[in-house]
Structures are given as structure tokens and as C-alpha cells.
Amino acid sequence: MSAEANPLELSSWESFLHNYIVPLNALSEAICSVIEQTEKFNGKPYAELDEFFKEALVAELKMNGEYSENALAGFYRDLIGIRFEDPKLYVEELKVGTKRLTSKVKVGYVNKYLGYLKVLPRFVWLSRTIHRITSVIIRKMKERGFKVEEQVEIERPEDLVDAVRRFLELVINTTINRNKFALLAWTLRKITERYLIVAHPDISAELLKFLEVEVLRDFGKEGYKVYGYRDFFSQYYYDERNLRICANGVPCGYYYAKNSWYAKHYGKPTTIGGALCRLTEAAFTYIKDDRSMLDRWFRGVQDEEHRYIERVLESLEKMGWEEPEYVKDIYAYIKDLKKGSLGSSYGSPFKFLIVEESGVIRRCKQWIYGRSYADSGIEQRKFSRYLNIYSLLDTLSPAMFLGLFDVAFGEDSTILLVRRE
């Protein structure tokens, strides 16, 4: 893609999609195919494996039953979860010439803290998440007449290493910290009508339609329609009974299904713009949560979210924007949302601001811990300082535009304000 490609020009998006999204989809599909094949081998003897996995598991296995440092078998274990249950048994059976090798293969690990559920590495979640997101974009590209033809073949065990490296490189280079097309889509995920005119005076209606930007909430005053993507952090949901909170498009708390790590998303991506934002959110979440694995197998993978927020704070400082003190009492951090817990005996970080018909904000809903969990629940609290939604949106618009702040909407005329750090 040309360095001069302009994301404000609709014609440039075809190159971006073909250079980033198409190969990401092809690579994630190939990686997920390998992952799916491992599931049928859990608990099976080594002798029953395909030749592909047999070769991967014995790669650089020494005759004392230990692996060489950074062995290919370790790569398979750490990234997709397949390994010998007891490699020393396999070696000893080879030494004595056992006719039928009984050493078994395990896929995933049993986690005693989660009721002895079997889980796979977080990289499995990333691969499946990226494939799910990019598949939506690919489908929409085809509906618009784009030709999509790319496949990746993983024929030898070492091919997976190359595929994963290319995959992670593309994932990182498609985040808002690296990619101006992703960044443009990101700035439109939540923006008021009046700030859209200021921030993107040259943006076309055709590009907004292509990214599927729409009105998320109309606060009834000229210039105060809030635009964004219906499928990305537009709504939040809380479950008071189970003390869980989720927002569409944001990974909120890991859970386990089909023997794999997942981070819960409410709803599938349905828009191109929302899907691109989800790609960034998935990458940010994974890089933070799988730091030790990344440090072991890959060099130079940095905390992309932290680097991006540093750039945002520098930009806002140059603009002369400062975070108002009164705002600090009404937002939660995005890290709290990603944990997925509504509250605990220490209380709840979430304040659901009640926007009255006039636009005034003088109360919030918050989960309050009582003498026990049975005595706890959502209560209304009154602020000592009243706000109004119009001045709040005006004040936060520059920071919302870049992603330092974001807002989601509840079904009960409330809003949830979150901040990154």
C-alpha cells in the first residue's frame, strides 16, 4: 500500500483491506485449522497422531526426555496447547523398543482454580477472535464486489512458526497505534455531530456509509447526536445477580468454553468500522494478558495500548486540553470493564450516569456493597455537583476522539463513561 494512501479517500480502502485484512483472515484460518486438529488428539497415544503432530512433538527432544531451549515442541505447547503428557516415558519406550508407544498426548491444561476445567493458551483465543472478526469484513467486502482470493497452507510443523509470526506482525500493524486506516475508523467509533465537523471536515458521506457509522443516541439538541458503530461499545449490560458487566465489542473477563480461553463479547461484529475497532481491542487485550509467552517466543513486541495512550496524552497536552477534576469522580477505567466484574466487597468502580430529559445529570446508579452480598445491589446516588450532557460531551470530545475516553449507553437513559490509562 502506498505511503501516500489517504484513509479519507474511499478508493484507498480497497488496498488497505487487501494488504491487511485479507492476509489476516487467511493466516488466522490456517492457524485455527491446526488448532482444531489438535482437539481430537487429547488423551490419545502418540502412535495415533498424524505425522504432522508426531514430528512437532519430538522436535529437539533429547534422549534424557528434556527439550532443547526454544524447541519447536515448546512453541506448539505454549501457543496451541498440544504436548506430551510425559516426554520421558516416550524416550524410555523408544530405548527399550516398545512395539506400541503408550505415551499420551495432552491438549490444554487443567485449572484447579476454575473447577478443574481444561483450558487452552490465550493465543488460541486471539486466533479465533481475529478470524471471526476478519471473516465479517471479508463477507462485507465480497458483498461490495471485492475479489478476495488468498490462502495459507501449513504443510510442515515449522510452517506454523512462520505463519504465527506473520499473523502477529499483521495484528500489531492493524492496530490504531500503527495504522492510519484503523485510526480513522477508531476516531469515528464515538463522536458528536458538531465535533465531527471540526475533526473531519473533509470526510465524505460515502466513507461514513462504507464504515457503517450511524446515530447511536440523539440528546435532542442540535449538534448533539452521537455517531458511532452499533456493534462496538455502544451498549453496556450488567447482570446484578451474577455481578457481571459487559459491553459489546470490548473483551470483558475471560471465560472458558470448548476447552479454550475466551474473552466475552456481547454480539458479533456487524459493521466494518466496528470490526476494525474490535481488532485493535483484541490485540491490546492479548498483548497485555500474554506477556510472558510473547517475551519468550517473540522479540520486540511492545505494549501497543500503552504506547498509543502516551501519544494521545502528548497530543492532548499540545492542544491545551486538560482533564477536568469533576470528571474523575464519574468514570471507570477500561481495565475495570475488561475484568468483567460489576463489584465486590470493596464496592464498584462503575457509575451509570442518569441523563434526564432536560440533559441534566444529577444522579447515578451504582452497585453498593452492604453488610453482605445478599444486602447489596444497585442504588441511586445524588451528585453534589450537577452536570449536563451537552457540556460534558463538549469537554470530553477531543479525548473521546482519540480514545482516551469513551461512552456507552444503557437502555434506562443512563450512560457509562470509561477512561484508558
Q: Among 56, 83, 107, identify where a domain stops.
A: 107
Under 8 Å between Cβ of 402 and 389: no
Who's near 408: CB < 8 A, 6+ residues apart? 233, 234, 235, 236, 247, 415, 416, 418
Pairing of strands 109-111, 214-218: unpaired
Q: What is the pLDDT along the chain (421 residues), one digit of tens a residue?
A: 555 689 999 999 999 999 999 999 999 999 999 999 998 998 999 989 999 999 999 988 888 888 988 899 999 999 999 999 898 998 888 888 776 778 899 888 766 655 545 678 899 999 999 999 999 999 999 998 888 888 999 999 999 999 999 999 999 999 999 999 999 999 999 999 999 999 999 999 999 999 999 999 999 999 999 999 999 999 998 888 889 898 898 888 765 444 455 556 667 899 999 999 999 999 999 999 999 999 999 988 999 999 999 999 999 999 999 999 999 999 999 999 988 899 999 999 999 999 999 999 999 999 999 989 999 999 999 999 999 999 999 999 999 999 999 999 998 889 999 999 8
| Same domain flag for 51 and 147 | no
Same domain, 389 and 306: yes
62 and 24 in a common domain = no
Q: Are residues 47 and 175 in the same domain?
A: no
For residues 397 and 383, what is the distance between their CA atoms, to the nearest angstrom? 22
- Among residues 360, 356, 378, 359, the alpha carbon closest in space to that of 368 is found at 378
Examine residue 414 and state whether it is found in any structural domain, yes or no. yes
Given 74, 107, 140, the domain boundary residue is: 107
Determine, yes or no, domain membership for 401.
yes
Looking at the structure, do residues 47 and 27 belong to the same domain, yes or no? Answer: no
Q: 59 with 188, same domain?
A: no
Same domain, 167 and 68: no
Residues 16 and 64 in one domain: no
Q: Point out which residues pair with 119 in neighbouring strands.
A: 109
Structurally, the chain folds into a number of domains equal to: 2
- Is the pTM above the cut of 0.85? yes
Whether 217 is in a domain gets the answer: yes
On whether residue 2 sits in a domain, the answer given is no
Q: Specify if 149 maps to a domain.
A: yes
Rounded to whole angstroms, the Cα distance separating 280 from 380 reads 34
**Shared domain check, 244 and 183:** yes
61 within domain boundaries = yes
Q: Give the 3-state secondary structure percentages of the chain, helix then strand then coil, rounded to 5.
A: 45, 20, 35
Residues 318 and 170 in one domain: yes
- List CB contacts of 172: < 8 A, sequence separation 6 or more: 178, 283, 287, 301, 304
Q: What is the spatial distance between Cα 268 and Cα 245, in angstroms, rounded to a whole number?
A: 17
| Residue ending a domain, choose from 72, 107, 142 | 107
Three-class DSSP category at 97 = coil
- 233 belongs to a structural domain: yes
pLDDT at residue 145 in the model: 87
In this structure, the strands spanning 332-333 and 414-419 are parallel
Q: Can you tell me the distance from the alpha carbon of 254 to that of 119, in angstroms, rounded to the nearest whole number?
A: 11
- pLDDT at residue number 100: 72
294 with 335, same domain: the answer is yes
71, HSE (Cβ side, Cα atoms, 13 Å): 17
Please check whether residues 156 and 75 belong to one and the same domain. Answer: no
Determine the pLDDT at residue 117.
54
- Containing domain of residue 384, as a range? 10-31+123-419
DSSP labels, 161-218: HHHHHHHHHHHHHTSTTT-HHHHHHHHTSEEEHHHHHHH-TT--HHHHHHHT-EEEEE
| Spatial CB neighbours of 283, under 8 Å, sequence gap ≥ 6 | 126, 171, 172, 174, 175, 304
Tell whether 114 is covered by a domain: no
The H or E element spanning position 227 is strand 225-228
